[in-house]
Amino acid sequence: MIPLSWFLIVAAFLFCIGLYGVLVRRNAIAVLMGIELMLNAVNLNLVAFWRYSGPTEVTGQVFAIIVITVAAAEAAVGLALIIAMYRNRQTVNVEELDTLKG
Amino acid sequence: MLLQAIFILVSLATLGAALLVVLTRNLFHSALFLAASFFGVAALYVLLEAEFLAVVQVLIYVGAIATLIVFAIMLSRGGVQRGVPLFNAEWAIVAVGVALLGGVLIVLLTQVAWPVSQAAPPADLIARLGQAFVGPYVIPFEVASALLVTALIGAILIARERE
Amino acid sequence: MGFVADLFRNLGAAFVGWLSGFLPPWAVALVNDVAVALLLLTLALLIVLYVIWFERKAIARVQDRLGPNRAGPAGLLQNLADAMKLLIKESITPSDADRWVYNLAPILSVFAAIMLLAVVPFGAGLIGEDLNVGVLYIVAMGSLGSMAVLMAGWGSNNKYALLGGFRVVAQLLSYEIPMVLAMLSPVLLAGTLSMQGIVAAQAGGRWFGVLMPAAFLIYLVSAVAETGRSPFDLLEAESELVAGFHIEYSGMKFAWFYLAEFMNTFTLSAVATTLFFGGWLGPFVDRAPVLGVVYFAIKVSIIYALFTWFRATLPRVRIDQLMAFAWKVLVPGALANLLLVAVLAKLPLPDLLNSLLILAANVALILTGLGMIGRSLRLQAQRRLAQG
């Protein structure tokens, strides 16, 4: 049997990698990719806990499916925003979106 | 024994792909590595005996979200920005912070004694999922559907070409 | 006689027995799985060879010519000759093309096509792995193919390839939805997502294709569009966008795309047989399970002949007509069908009455759909006439 903590460690690593991507990359699409990695890590956590702590219920998987749904909706809207941004300002660099600053 | 070896291989592949997503300069390659890491997570779901979720993950994440990301990359010509550095100015500090967070998480996760049950997943899991979605969890289900419709309409409106 | 009656399963059992003689149990399982995988791979490639020959001959006859008849008896070795020709062709990589992506795309395309064969039931107990999410697995692997096309379009560093790639993915994603919805109707009636379970639920002559012709038709049309064949082959026809997303591919890499398309067609025909026509079921199959393979082959050949017939006779559909058809006709039709079947299947009526009701509802749906399409086309024609 694979111990539960192994799955949780993998999820933690995945989350940290995604977090690094979100905080450090300049390209908006790369930031979105980091967000998707974080959501995947969260889902992995949920399913691991479902399997090891409550397999007779389906709550864990229901939660995971709702998270996947929300991630899909958020990716769609985020990418639409990025495309609109590119069309207006010819850039997808998050550091150049500062017209509201100051 | 075999399962543990498979788990280690799959995890290393997934984490490696995720790392390459963040570190690659070519955005298209990043998207492909992202799809690879989605596959890796689906394999981990199979190891966790959640096959339905694994197939749903491949179907939605790789089949739809990764394709959407690739579309956006192509439409915004995102991979052709040479001369712009990959990371912003605070990459070193953020790396230290994230490493600290990772360390804290790992220490926490290994020290706490999680309640582990030896039961096995039910045989008619998919039927139970269906019943859960129209039974106790019907409200999140309906809200998620409303969210999807809103997101669909919103995305179309935002990304439309203004003539 | 007893051995032959269940030939393939007995062969498999004999193989496992021979292996257990000198290997520990975990190694026996591993070797058995690898052997089954290799067998499926070989089977896939051999089937594609036969299927391409059949298609070329059939289309040739429809067009009043003979088709390949020189290489081997009746042209059976023509495919071998073609494969050898493609193998010895020069492998050109366009300049500035992304080498990894460009080379990986055809492999991924074939990968998606072959992975589908793992859940196709060729006979009683003859299935790669009877996943309890078999139908969903097929949909997932199908959606993987669209990723391969995008990679081909981008990796070729060619504007036409890119545009062709966009259109292909738009078509693939649009027709995936009615295909999934049409595949859900047999799942509803059978109560399980597993392929062998759906075949078992059609025992006793209760074929879902006969009960739900609307679902079968929607699935058929969507499958033709999913594989990118005529009349939906806008994306790879030589006169459109200069052959679409595989312009820059020559030699063996092009052969991979070609192979993937035919394998996809075969697999979707096999899925149609399983979901709608009882798979390997037929008379006397419980006494001699090897007959199941024969019945399966016959049924798949008939449906594949249908696909070939479409290709030989129908003209190409324009991209906007294609998308309009998918979203305005097939998706509502599939949803309505799903709703009707879901409601009618749960009514507490005797089985025969239930089946007749579902059949009646489906026929009504087809007639209504055709009526609405006819009316809208007539209105469009009138409008065009009025505009002069």
Does B115 fall in a domain? no
Sign of the four-CA dihedral B26, B28, B31, B33: negative
- List of residues 6+ apart from C48 with CB closer than 8 A: C259, C262, C263, C266
**Is the pLDDT at B163 greater than 70, yes or no?**
no
A64: nearest Cα among A21, A11, A22, A16:
A11
Inter-residue contact C255 to C83 (CB < 8 Å): yes
Tell me the CATH number at A15: 1.10.287.3510
Distance to chain C for B19, nearest Cα, Å: 18
Does B91 fall in a domain? no
pTM of the entire predicted model:
0.90
Interatomic CA distance for residues C379 and C177, integer angstroms = 28
Inter-residue contact C121 to C137 (CB < 8 Å): no
Counting CB pairs under 8 A, whether chains A and B reach 3 or more, is yes
Does A100 fall in a domain? no
Does B97 fall in a domain? no
Tell which wins on pLDDT, A11 or C261: A11
- List of residues 6+ apart from C53 with CB closer than 8 A: C68, C75, C76, C78, C79
For residue B35, list chain A residues with Cβ-Cβ distance below 8 A: none
Radius of gyration of chain C (CA): 23
The Cα diameter of chain B in Å comes to 62
Question: Exposure of C42 by Cβ count < 10 A (0-12 exposed, 13-18 middle, 19+ buried)?
Answer: exposed
Does A62 fall in a domain? yes
This model of the complex carries an ipTM of 0.92
CA dihedral C182, C186, C187, C190 (to 10 degrees): 170
**Is the pLDDT at B142 greater than 90, yes or no?**
yes
Does A21 fall in a domain? yes
Q: Is A27 helix (H, G, I), strand (E, B) or coil?
A: strand
Query: CB–CB of C101 and B64 under 8 A?
Result: no
- List of residues 6+ apart from B143 with CB closer than 8 A: none
- Which range marks the domain in which residue B142 is found? 123-163
Does A53 fall in a domain? yes
Domain count, chain B: 2
Which candidate from A8, A23, A92 shows the least CB-CB separation from B94? Answer: A23
Inter-residue contact B30 to B53 (CB < 8 Å): no
Q: Which residue, of B28, B60, B81, is where some domain finishes?
A: B81
Which candidate from C139, C143, C193 shows the least CB-CB separation from B126? Answer: C193
Lookup: tokens for C356: 């007749």
pLDDT range class, residue B65, cuts 50, 70, 90: very high
Tokens 């591993």 sit on residue: C30
Query: CB–CB of B59 and C140 under 8 A?
Result: yes
Distance to chain C for B71, nearest Cα, Å: 8
pLDDT attached to residue C293: 87
Q: What is the DSSP letter of C341?
A: H
Does A97 fall in a domain? no
Task: Establish if B131 touches chain C: CB-CB under 8 angstroms.
Answer: no
- For residue range A19-68, list pLDDT tens digits in order: 999 999 888 999 999 999 999 999 999 999 999 988 888 898 999 999 99
Distance to chain B for A9, nearest Cα, Å: 6
Query: CB–CB of A37 and B156 under 8 A?
Result: no
Which candidate from C139, C150, C154 shows the least CB-CB separation from B59? Answer: C139
Interatomic CA distance for residues A82 and A25, integer angstroms = 15
Task: Establish if B129 touches chain C: CB-CB under 8 angstroms.
Answer: no
Does B140 fall in a domain? yes
B76: nearest Cα among A31, C299, A80:
A80
Radius of gyration of chain B (CA): 20
Interatomic CA distance for residues C293 and C12, integer angstroms = 15
Does A58 fall in a domain? yes
- List of residues 6+ apart from B134 with CB closer than 8 A: B141
Does A43 fall in a domain? yes
Inter-residue contact C169 to C146 (CB < 8 Å): yes
Inter-residue contact A77 to B155 (CB < 8 Å): yes
For residue B59, list chain C residues with Cβ-Cβ distance below 8 A: 136, 139-140, 143
Interatomic CA distance for residues C161 and C159, integer angstroms = 5
- Which range marks the domain in which residue A9 is found? 4-91
> Which of B3, B20, B41 should one mutate to test binding to chain A, selecting the residue with the greatest count of A CBs within 10 A?
B41
pLDDT attached to residue C151: 86
- List of residues 6+ apart from B33 with CB closer than 8 A: B17, B18, B20, B21, B24
Tell me the CATH number at B30: 1.20.120.1200
**Is the pLDDT at B79 greater than 60, yes or no?**
no
Does B8 fall in a domain? yes
Taking phi over 0 as left and psi of -120 to 50 as alpha, with beta for the rest, A3 belongs to beta
Lookup: tokens for B72: 């956006």
Counting CB pairs under 8 A, whether chains C and A reach 3 or more, is no
What does the H/E/C string look like for chain B?
Answer: CHHHHHHHHHHHHHHHHHHHHHHCCCHHHHHHHHHHHHHHHHHHHHHCCCHHHHHHHHHHHHHHHHHHHHHHHHHCCCCCCCCCCCECCCHHHHHHHHHHHHHHHHHHHHHCCCCCCCCCCCCCHHHHHHHHHHCCCHHHHHHHHHHHHHHHHHHHHHHCCCC
Distance to chain A for B102, nearest Cα, Å: 6
Q: Are residues B16 and B70 in the same domain?
A: yes
| Strand partners of residue B87 | A25
> Which of C34, C108, C144 should one mutate to test binding to chain B, selecting the residue with the greatest count of B CBs within 10 A?
C144
The Cα diameter of chain A in Å comes to 56
Distance to chain A for B57, nearest Cα, Å: 8
Report the chain C residue with the minimal C-alpha distance to residue B30. C101
Does A83 fall in a domain? yes
List the chains bordering chain C where 3 or more Cβ pairs fall under 8 Å.
B
Tell which wins on pLDDT, B132 or C90: B132
Interatomic CA distance for residues C58 and C225, integer angstroms = 20
Q: Are residues B7 and B72 in the same domain?
A: yes
pLDDT attached to residue C215: 92
Report the chain A residue with the minimal C-alpha distance to residue B75. A83
Which candidate from C100, C144, C191 shows the least CB-CB separation from B62? Answer: C144
Does B88 fall in a domain? no
For residue B20, list chain C residues with Cβ-Cβ distance below 8 A: none
Q: Is the peptide bond before C231 cis (omega within 30 degrees of 0)?
A: yes
Does B31 fall in a domain? yes
Q: What is the DSSP letter of C318?
A: P
C310: nearest Cα among C265, C368, C362:
C265
Query: CB–CB of C147 and B66 under 8 A?
Result: yes
- For residue range B9-61, list pLDDT tens digits in order: 999 999 999 999 999 888 889 999 999 999 999 999 999 989 999 999 999 99
Per-residue pLDDT tens digits of chain C, which is 388 residues long: 667 777 777 888 888 888 788 878 778 888 888 888 898 889 888 888 888 888 888 888 888 888 887 777 777 788 888 888 888 888 777 777 778 888 888 899 999 888 888 888 888 878 888 888 889 999 998 888 888 888 888 887 777 778 778 888 888 888 999 999 999 999 988 888 888 889 988 887 788 888 899 999 999 999 998 887 777 776 666 555 555 677 777 778 888 888 888 898 999 999 999 999 988 888 887 777 788 888 999 999 999 999 999 888 888 888 888 888 889 889 999 999 999 998 888 888 877 888 888 888 888 888 988 888 888 888 988 998 888 6
- What is the arithmetic mean of pLDDT over B106-130? 86
Q: Which of B78-87, B147-156, C183-192 has the highest mean pLDDT?
A: B147-156
Domain count, chain A: 1
Query: CB–CB of B67 and C150 under 8 A?
Result: yes
**Residue A16 parent element (H or E):** helix A4-24
Distance to chain A for B154, nearest Cα, Å: 7
Q: Is A93 helix (H, G, I), strand (E, B) or coil?
A: strand
Report the chain C residue with the minimal C-alpha distance to residue B77. C154
